[in-house]
Chain A
Amino acid sequence: EAGVTQFPSHSVIEKGQTVTLRCDPISGHDNLYWYRRVMGKEIKFLLHFVKESKQDESGMPNNRFLAERTGGTYSTLKVQPAELEDSGVYFCASSRTRQGSTEAFFGQGTRLTVV
């Protein structure tokens, strides 16, 4: 069984540019989560999809971030325009049921550097 896959693994962009991160969850997992880790700080929740619907997006930092999950399969996280403070590692996770009642599987993360 393939794990959670994230693309790209690294991205370096200039301030003001747009970047789109992609997450392919494990097949059959309805729940998909995005998290972010800014350098040296804790991993913070961004949002949670159940299939194609946003269940909780309370962790999204501002309206420069847009997450979608068309068809309830893969998800994208777009940052437009990117700012320096957006640099960090973005993790995606998926689970069959609500996270905590079963294991959540994490991807390798996308390391975003905004210069």
Chain B
Amino acid sequence: AQSVTQLDSQVPVFEEAPVELRCNYSSSVSVYLFWYVQYPNQGLQLLLKYLSGSTLVESINGFEAEFNKSQTSFHLRKPSVHISDTAEYFCAAFNTGGFKTIFGAGTRLFVKA
């Protein structure tokens, strides 16, 4: 069975500090991996995705995630966060053997001044 685990429900961090949001997945088949972000009172937005090729993927606002097949992880990182990064982040996996996206429970990132 396919599953996505986000290891931290909440992550408080000071502005300009680095952050890592952890995500592990399990699947018996190939998967595509995603990070979505939900800002307060807004819908889900795609932050970045791994489909194939380079294992390091980047977003336009400084986040990056690395696909690690041996550790079945897809952790999200940013070297220096801003107040505006405060949001809930969802890791998700799409099973290429089917057509459903499986989401993790979400991680709330709080960036403090």
Q: Using Cβ atoms and an 8 Å threshold, which residues of chain A touch B41?
A: 108
**Bound Cα distance from A83 to B26, whole angstroms:** 32
Q: Using Cβ atoms and an 8 Å threshold, which residues of chain B touch A42?
A: 4, 102-106
Whether A40 and B105, one on each chain, are in contact in the complex, defined by CB atoms closer than 8 angstroms, is yes
Q: Using Cβ atoms and an 8 Å threshold, which residues of chain A touch B92?
A: 43
Check B90 for interface membership: any CB of A closer than 8 A: yes
Interface size band for A: 20 to 34
**Bound Cα distance from A33 to B49, whole angstroms:** 19
**Bound Cα distance from A3 to B45, whole angstroms:** 11
Query: C-beta contact mask, B31-72 vs A, less than 8 Å → 1, else 0?
Result: 010001000011111100101000000000000000000000
Task: Count how many chain B residues have C-beta atoms less than 8 Å from C-beta atoms of the other chain.
Answer: 25
Interface of B is mostly: strand
Check A61 for interface membership: any CB of B closer than 8 A: no
Offer 18 A-B interface pairs, CB within 8 angstroms, sorted by A. A4-B43, A33-B101, A42-B103, A42-B104, A43-B90, A43-B92, A45-B101, A45-B102, A55-B99, A56-B100, A98-B99, A99-B94, A99-B99, A100-B32, A100-B94, A100-B95, A106-B44, A108-B43
**Which A residues fall within an 8 A CB radius of B?**
3-4, 33, 35, 40-45, 48, 55-56, 59, 91, 93, 98-101, 103-109
